Amino acid sequence: MVIRFHIPGGEMVIKAAPFFREARMRQIRRMLKMYRESGSGGEYKELVRWLGETAAGVQDELRALQEEYDAALRRVSEKSGLKEARRELSRLNTVAREIKREMEIRGKLLVRYGKILKDVERILGEG
C-alpha cells in the first residue's frame, strides 16, 4: 500500500509495508499526525483495513511457525535415544532454534502492528 498526503513542501509518498515495519513509533506517530493535518482522511479506513490484514497475516505466520516448531521438537525427542541419529538430532535442534527465532520476530511484529493500529485509530479517529 502506498500512502500519499500533502505536506507544506509538497507531497509525501510512503510505502506502508517497509515504513511500518522499520520506522520508530515516534516517526510513525509524526507521520500519522501530518497525514491527519493534510486532510487526506479518505484513505484512513483503507489504512486501518491494510494494517488489520497485515497483522492477521503475521499472526497466521506465527501460528504456522509454532506448529513447525512443535513438530521439530517432537522429532528431536524421538531421535534423542539413537546413536546413529546424532547428526540428525543436531540439525533438528538447529532448525528448532531458527524457527523459535522467527517466531519471536513475528511476535514482535504482531505487537508492533497492534500498537500502530491503536495509534492510527487514536490519532486519525479524533478528526
Q: What's residue 126's pLDDT?
A: 67
Please check the confidence at residue 66 and state whether its pLDDT lies above 70: yes
Answer yes or no: are the C-beta atoms of 17 and 109 closer than 8 Å: no
What pLDDT does residue 18 have? 86
pLDDT for residue 8: 81
User: Does residue 41 or residue 1 have the better pLDDT?
Assistant: 1
> What mean pLDDT is reported for the chain?
82
Q: For residue 113, what is its C-alpha cell?
A: 502492528
pLDDT at 127: 53
SS3 call for 91: helix
Which residues neighbour 34 within 8 Å (Cβ) at sequence distance 6 or greater?
Answer: 5, 7, 12
User: Torsions phi, psi of 125, nearest 5?
Assistant: -80, -15
Alpha carbon separation from 42 to 26, 124, 126 (Å, rounded): 23, 11, 14
Model confidence at 57, pLDDT cuts 50, 70, 90, reads: confident
Please give the Cα distance from 121 to 108 (Å, whole number). 20
Q: What is the pLDDT of residue 36?
A: 82
DSSP alpha helices (H): ranges in the chain? Answer: 16-22, 25-37, 44-79, 86-124
Q: 51 burial class (0-12, 13-18, 19+ CB within 10 angstroms)?
A: buried
Say whether pLDDT at 81 is over 60.
Answer: no
pLDDT for the residue numbered 59: 87
> When comparing pLDDT for 80 and 38, which is higher?
38
Residue 84 has pLDDT above 70, yes or no: no
pLDDT digits (tens, 9 = 90+) for 20-47: 888 898 988 888 888 888 876 666 778 8
